[in-house]
Structure 1
Amino acid sequence: MNILEIQQLNKSYGNNKALSNVNLSIPSGGIFGVLGPNGAGKTTLIRIINQIIDQDSGEVLFKNQPLKRTHIKNIGYLPEERGLYKKMKVWDQLIYFTRLKGLSSEETKNKVEAWLERLEISHWKHKRIDDLSKGMAQKVQFISAVLHEPELLILDEPFSGFDPVNAELIKNEILSLKEKGVTILLSTHRMESVELLCDEIAMFNKSEKILSGKLKSVKNQFRTNTFELKIKNPDTLNVPATWHCMESGEYHSYHILIEEGKVNELLQQALGIGEIVGFKEILPSMEEIFIQQVKMHENG
């Protein structure tokens, strides 16, 4: 089942189009990446789902029902522009946000304690937000988004401000939430995060959705049939001119364009040149696909 269905969504700010006839289906229980350059329409889409702003036309369905105010308790949101009260203490702030979502006082305290321990900031709970480092404050904001155990968690640049150690901690928490059945909508510019986390993606540019699908299918769509072959101590005199040497020494690495159905022939040929120690297809990275598609859309 799809947790969100977005149908023919349009939004403009004056003469500037933010979303143009956007259709999107977000399945339950996975991590869905929303990608695009600045000004592509990602933030507008997220704000409409969170009911911060209204669309001009089109519809958003949450679990097959038109999106309404009562769905807020089922949604968690980590905005890119963080929204904590700087003079308020960590503990008081988290209790306040969670009570707004309808949790009881006792239930709230237990959940806050548990999350502070999980993110290793229990000793900061009586500090004011403006006494915390940016990374510590980000952890508090993350906790505020997940405390009420939402069915849909929207994360807008969740790794912003984190060092590698804490980014890894947050990544593992995101994966843990996915395992528990939470649907995660992830908006990020970090393509390595997309590669590691996302099951499906949708790419936006200039208000339009320009590409979508399962991550593996999208990458396969842009295959070039290029392979990397690594050979130990090759007979370089017999290496074909069409093999592009990328690394030499004891081990030579070659990039080779292979026609469909010709892989076995290539490997047979390589066996006569030296000991094969590695062979793999080179798939384009999401960063390469992202840049290519945005340029194509802008020039097309």
Structure 2
Amino acid sequence: MVPRGVIFGLLGPNGAGKTTLIRIINQIIDGDSGLILFKGEPLSSKHISQIGYLPEERGLYKKMKVWDQLIYFARLKGMSASMAKEKVKYWLEKLEISSWREKRIEDLSKGMAQKVQFISTVIHEPELLILDEPFSGFDPMNAEIIKNEILELKDKGITVVLSTHRMESVELLCDEIAMIHKSKKILEGKLSDIKRKFRPHVYQVALSPNGTQMPAEWGIHRTSDKVEIQVPLNGKRPNQLLLELMSFGDILEFREILPTMEELFIQQVKSHPHG
């Protein structure tokens, strides 16, 4: 279940079934089993106008000009001519690309065309926005712009499903995730809860040493002014560990190490070889 008004990460290795599921939601293909509910009722053709879809394979008409292209997509989503013009003008100005309006799509760089595709996806402010690898083709500056636009859409109450292999995007954006492997769900929940569930109970510590000998198994790394170590709890409470560490010097840093999404992704796929 995807809660309303969140950014929901749909994750999985190549061939897991992510794109197939997305195409079923968009009613591009039919599922052969199961039932999809949209706002509590069976998904049907009337919901298409309430969904925005940015496919991994981009779908712009290369000979059309940017302005004409966006007007066309806005009208397809049921917008009046006047509203379509107003919204296209708004988005071109918002993304600072008004100067492109008379350019043909084929004359744009991949990143420029990506911005146009993004606008065509969100212009009707859908209730559900499905983004398949939305940062593909973007340089870091434009990726940051699109990231902020996605967060702004979420703040407006739009539900976003994000399918991506970029785990740093998941870390930055997603509230909840579901991971699928060979068409089966192997992990689901709030990102923060999942990270806590799989934490290794190890703390990253930096201290200014007082000369007391520390256990060699802590993997001690010394610099000119401090010592860095990774210390397991080994059944202790964090406060107990902290008190123990204070006997070796002044604590400069004490933080729990949580697994990254990339580490979780690899771990989960390896532990579910058959889905």
TM range (shorter): over 0.9
What is the correspondence of 1:241-260 to structure 2 with a 5 Å cutoff? Answer: 241-260=216-235
Is 1:159–2:163 an aligned residue pair?
Answer: no
Q: Which amino acid aligns with 1:244?
A: G
Query: Are residue 99 (structure 1) and residue 79 (structure 2) matched?
Result: no
Q: Which runs of 5+ in 1 are unaligned?
A: 1-24
Match status 1:296 vs 2:254: no
Structure 1 position 204, deviation (Å): 1.0
Structure having the higher strand fraction is: 1
Residue 197 (structure 1) aligned with residue 153 (structure 2): no
Contact persistence 1:227–1:255 (CA under 8 A): yes
**Which deviates more, 45-54 or 247-256?**
247-256
Give 1:248 shift: 2.9
SS of alignment partner, residue 272 of structure 2: helix
* RMSD value, Cα: 1.2
> Aligned partners of 1:121, 1:176: CA distance in 2, in Å?
19
CA distance in structure 1 between the aligned counterparts of 2:13 and 2:224, rounded to whole angstroms: 41
Q: Using the TM superposition, give the Cα deviation of residue 260 of structure 1 relative to its aligned residue in structure 2, in angstroms.
A: 4.0
Aligned to 2:238: 263
Sequence identity of aligned pairs in percent?
64
With normalisation by structure 1, the TM-score equals 0.89
Provide structure 2 residue ranges, at least 5 long, that are not aligned to the other structure. Answer: none
Deviation at 1:241, TM superposition (A): 2.4
Q: Tell me how far apart the structure 2 counterparts of residues 159 and 115 of structure 1 sit (CA, whole Å).
A: 18
Q: What is the total number of aligned residue pairs between the two structures?
A: 275
Superposition map of 1:1-300 within 5 A = 25-232=1-208, 234-298=209-273
Confirm or deny: 8 A CA contact 1:244 1:255 kept in the other structure. Answer: yes
Higher relative CO (Cα under 8 Å, sequence separation at least 6) belongs to 2
The alignment partner of 2:2 has SS state of strand
Rounded Cα–Cα distance in structure 2 between residues aligned with 1:225 and 1:266: 11
Q: TM-score, normalised by structure 2?
A: 0.97
Please say if residues 246 and 255 of structure 1, whose CA atoms lie closer than 8 Å, have aligned partners that are also in contact: no
8 Å CA contact 2:130–2:161 kept in 1: the answer is yes
2:37 aligned partner, one-letter code:
L
- In the alignment, the residues of structure 2 paired with residue 82 and residue 126 of structure 1 have an alpha-carbon distance, to the nearest angstrom, of 20
Paired with 2:248 and 2:24, the residues of 1 have a C-alpha distance of 60
